[in-house]
Structure 1
Amino acid sequence: MTMPLGRVLRNGTVVVLAVLWLVPTWLLVVNALVPAGDYSGSPHWLPGHVGLFGNMSQAWDKANLGPAFGNSALYATVSAVAAVVVATGAAFATVIMPVKRRVLWFWVIYSGTLLPLQVFIRPLFVSYARSSLYDTQIGLVLIYTAIAVPFAFFVMRNYALTLPREVVEAARMDGASWWRVFWQIHVPLTRSAMIAVFVFQFVAVWNDLMFGITLTTSRNIRPVMAALADLQGNYSNVGPPVVLAGALLVSVPTLVLFVSAQRYFVSSLKIHQ
């Protein structure tokens, strides 16, 4: 049988996109395997001697990644949990509860995603310096939570729109308060979406570099990506294989989290029946 032209084009596009993604990933992994002392300055396309763990050890020590891992775990976990709680409550209020001007409230909250984050750098830097929040853990937690809420609200609101209203109406007719409806009905029904949002926001905060290098200076406060950027600053001293090995090392937590929560992430993308 002859494959339809449309299917051929679609499959070909998928293959090309896969190759475009896999090539830099392959180069990253292969060159991270090269022992730092054996690197000649040209990228390796095929694996040779394996020095990955030695490179990771150098990256861990020279970039002081231990405290940075702990900082990023704190920032990403607290900010993602706070954003999920706030977004779930806001979605419940604007979709389930009989509030006025629902569309207006949606745009007020969602508008936080419409501007590039770079426009907030200068006012944040000035306000943080004046309020003693600069170079503090609480300062980073606050900004990470604030930037995570709008998109989290967007996802939770759209998911809440697919929930059966009859369940809520029946609970209200039986005398259940809005607080009870939220915790005993709404939260269980939206658990998969909440986990998916948590994973997405955790990864986003973990991978942030801009706020990490702008709002902090101390090595015991900086997140892991800012610490990795310091390693990049010592590029000529440690060599590209060490930098690439460090990049692989800091990506492990997000990879493990995504794989462990994959079924929740996928199920939240499906239309609720």
Structure 2
Amino acid sequence: MTLGRVLRNGTLTVLAVLWLVPTWLLVVNALVPAGSYSGSPHWLPRDFGLFDNMSQAWDRARLGPAFGNSLLYAVVSALAAVAVATLAAFATIVMPVKRQVLWFWVIYSGTLLPLQVFIRPLFLSYAETSLYDTQIGLVLIYTAIAVPFAFFVMRNYALTLPREVVEAARMDGASWWRVFWNIHVPLSRSAMIAVFVFQFVAVWNDLMFGITLTTSRNIRPVMAALADLQGNYSNVGPPIVLAGALLVSLPTLVLFFSAQRFFISSLKMHH
């Protein structure tokens, strides 16, 4: 085994351990029955109280409506971002549009500033336009922040698609819309699914906009509800909070592993 391979495997092992340690602590301490938690973290599993902890987290934080809200925000925003990004990638790469590089930077520039910069102007504008504390308001902002990265991925994937197919279809008289729907979309399906997974996870895990642009329990996403569990109930111990964190993470884990083959294939160059 070469030195380079040893260094690579060693680095990957260290990174895996660094990622697994906090995950292990989260799982082990979520297993501890809330009534027997001593206040210090457990490193090895002892008793099993996970389901009871999850049940208490679900009831006390009222996670049911929050789950529905986050599912709505994540699905609608991710789908809208994928649709917009796929159309934009088609327009800037496949269609004969002038200043393609300029359009790329105009759209992608949305990722260059930290999201915290937008909090104050968003709060003020939402309050003035009655979008504050509404589901449509969160859908709009989640879609807007998801488009730039989605466009970046879809544009790069579009660069690998065969141009000969498009040229042949145009010579046969196909309209741009037909080329997009019948050729570009089927060829880009794996990348579209991968982008959907990315954006679904990003929206599902958002806390900042959820606590800034909403106040009502029937509007707040699941991460904001989970934050309320720790902030508003001083008698709730860490095992219940950690069990709640595991519970709200399940949809993203299921989605990622169910779409794993599309995610992997989208990372490969199209030949």
> What interval of TM-score do these two structures reach, taking the shorter chain for normalisation?
over 0.9
CA-CA distance at 1:10 after TM superposition: 1.5
1:10 is aligned to 8
2:114 is the counterpart of 1:116: yes
2:48 is the counterpart of 1:50: yes
Identity, % of aligned positions: 89
1:38 is aligned to 36
Question: Which residue of 127, 142, 145 maps to 1:144?
Answer: 142
Question: Which residue of 61, 64, 67 maps to 1:63?
Answer: 61
Gaps of 5+ in 2: none
1:98 is aligned to 96
CA-CA distance at 1:4 after TM superposition: 2.3
The normalised TM-score by structure 2 is 0.99
1:177 is aligned to 175
2:207 is aligned to 209
* One-letter amino acid of the structure 2 residue matched with residue 35 of structure 1: P
Question: Which residue of 27, 30, 37 maps to 1:29?
Answer: 27
The normalised TM-score by structure 1 is 0.98
2:70 is aligned to 72
* One-letter amino acid of the structure 2 residue matched with residue 248 of structure 1: L
* One-letter amino acid of the structure 2 residue matched with residue 197 of structure 1: V
Q: How does 1:127-166 map to 2 (within 5 A)?
A: 127-166=125-164
Cα-to-partner distance string for 1:21-54 (whole Å, 9 max, x where unaligned): 1111100000000000000000001101100000
Cα-to-partner distance string for 1:202-242 (whole Å, 9 max, x where unaligned): 00000000000000000000000000000111453110000
Distance 2:74 2:29 in 1: 29
Distance 1:32 1:158 in 2: 41
2:239 is aligned to 241
CA root-mean-square deviation: 0.7
Cα-to-partner distance string for 1:178-224 (whole Å, 9 max, x where unaligned): 01000000000000000000000000000000000000000000000
Question: Which residue of 217, 220, 223 maps to 2:221?
Answer: 223
Distance 1:8 1:95 in 2: 41
Distance 1:218 1:139 in 2: 13
Would you say how many aligned residue pairs link Structure 1 and Structure 2?
Answer: 271
Gaps of 5+ in 1: none
| Kept in 2: contact 1:235–1:243 (CA 8 A) | no
List structure 1 segments (4+ residues) > 4 angstroms apart after TM superposition.
none
The worse-fitting range, judged by mean Cα deviation, of 255-264 and 229-238 is: 229-238
Distance 1:158 1:212 in 2: 31
Distance 2:232 2:22 in 1: 22
1:197 is aligned to 195
